[in-house]
Structure 1
Amino acid sequence: AGLDGLVGEHLAGRRVTMIADETVAALYRRGQLGDSSPAEGRWDGVTLTFPPGERSKTRETWSRLTDELLRLGFGRDSGIVALGGGVAGDLAGFVAATYMRGVPYVQVPTTLLAMLDASVGGKTGVDTAEGKNLIGAFHPPAAVLADPAVLATLPEREYRSGLAEAVKHGLIADREYFEWIEREAGRLVARDAAALRHLVRRSVEIKAAVVSEDEREGGRRAILNAGHTVAHAIEGATEYRVPHGEAVALGLVAEAALAAGLGLATPEPGARVVALLERLGLPTRVPEPVAADRLIAAMGSDKKNRGREIRFALPREIGAMGSGPDWTTEAGEASIRAALDAIS
């Protein structure tokens, strides 16, 4: 279908603006993004850009983008194309959710992480000094164009980052898929086209199935947060020097250790997660010293918490999560410290 077809179908008759980071916008203009690149001169909409990286995912950037749309005279008949990785999707999605009380948008993820995770589920938002995604809205896209051919231009570290979310999907919901990743790790690292297509399809199916049961995160959707309580704390404590996918890998290791420490799981899931992440070239130990106190303090403002309790979505075994009343488990400070030892 390509981007033109998608915009024509889902944003027909609207005045469309594309929001992308500067790097992706340049690749797009040069026609280096597979199916998502324009046919000759077909994209005649406005493009608004921001500096690449998580540090741009702020209220300040949101404010600048919305001011720019107002200055250009965009009205309620606007449409937005979110082109790029998770930051572009969250940011452009939040612009779409709030501009004129909400306009439709289309997600065009260009990283593996965004294809598997950020572009499905309708969560949008920005970070603050207090933590990640604390200001945001649920605003599902009208459509998502995920083209694995785009991933050919993705830097190695970013590509591998995306594989961490796929491991998470297998761990939380599908033992067979987890075992498929174990078998195909070599082909996935080599970016084999057929293996990648299956990976994107299956991960999106798993995430979509969980989200459709619980769109606004009142129950089972919390399992998608596996690894993320620790991951968000690591990202914050290292000022995003550890990118999201690597932080998720570390979070999965620490939280599997926590599940074992609390008697919720045997040590087997954790050992298999570590072995698989290592084969995929992902870290299983934090690459720089970070004080446990700092990580625990950061976990204190996680969205899953209730009052002062720090809560985690924990695996019971490969393919199944601890269910509890809201699919999360409370852990005390001593247990959390012991689990963080597994990654330090």
Structure 2
Amino acid sequence: MTFPRSSRVGRAVCVLATLALAWAAARLCVWLHTPIPWMIGPLLATALASLAGAPTASWTPLRNTGQWVIGTALGLYFTPQVGALVASLWWVIVLGIVWALLLGLGFDCWLQRVHARHLPGLSAGELRATTYFSGAIGGASEMTLLAERAGARTDLVASAHSLRVLLVTLCLPFGMLFWGVTGLDLAPPAVRDVAWPGLGLLALLTLAGAVLAQWLGRANPWFMGALLVTMGITLSGQVWSALPPELSYAAQLVIGVSLGVRFTPDFLHTAPRWLGSVALASVVMMVLCAAFGWGLSRMIGMHPATMVLGTAPGGIAEMSITAKVLQLGVPVVTAFQVCRLVAVLVLAEPVYRLWVVRQQQRRHKAGVE
């Protein structure tokens, strides 16, 4: 919800009310024994309230703090042994990156075909940029910024990524629970006990890493900065402290809220046919990624659930949280998601330029013939 700059008190009240709603929803999901209750409960409750027109709000510093906590918690899984395992899977990670790029191009082609005549006011170039960056499996904010530079309809791009992440975040945990594959992780965190001096030092160093990543303009700086610093500490064999479970719960809650508040009443009015196409394509992408992950698991002898999460077309924080809470190969899932995110961010624009040139050459050739 948009607030006047002068209405700081009003916005603060909305943030507190939203957090209270999210906490109540999380407690209800805990009581119902749903998967990932501290993220799914707040996500669903906030999204439904936002769609109903309630004045929900998310505070950016809280979301950043949540990502900082989750990045730190995931980094604790990267012991030297786990680091060697992940390094040995480099070729599988490359396959996952290639798969993600190809899947995004397929999504782009389908959206172009479906919406060539159903998005009035868009030129051919705007449509091409909009469908391409909507299909790319990257971070919502980063893809929206790249789309803006390419002249796309950024509202359609943002809505596509928001809806895809919502569907994946909701469907996969329940799918894993129905599958009955929780608690299979053979690589627990390097340390399970909370040691307050070590926790304080870990917090200071990871905070510095997050601030540095933000200053450098990196993607997901609060998550990636904290993750990389913690990984470096843990990979070196240092064992300082675990994180209190309550911190992880709070982080999941604020991340769920930050996703839920995107779904305002205006969201439903943003080209309903477009949202329907994105929803259908997202479901197809989940099925294809699950099949691809299953195939990779057969090649490397790893449990299929880990590879399904590693190749899932969801957000990096959301899929890593799912792996952490359900104990399904956290380091492998995190490594796959992080490497894919970085690769897509680096390659999205060059691939787009090559893709556009190829399409133009194909159309020119067809016109000549």
More strand by share: 1
TM-score, L = length of structure 1: 0.28
Larger helix fraction of residues = 2
Q: Rg larger in 1 or in 2?
A: 2
Higher RCO (C-alpha under 8 Å, 6+ residues apart): 2
User: TM-score w.r.t. structure 2 length?
Assistant: 0.27
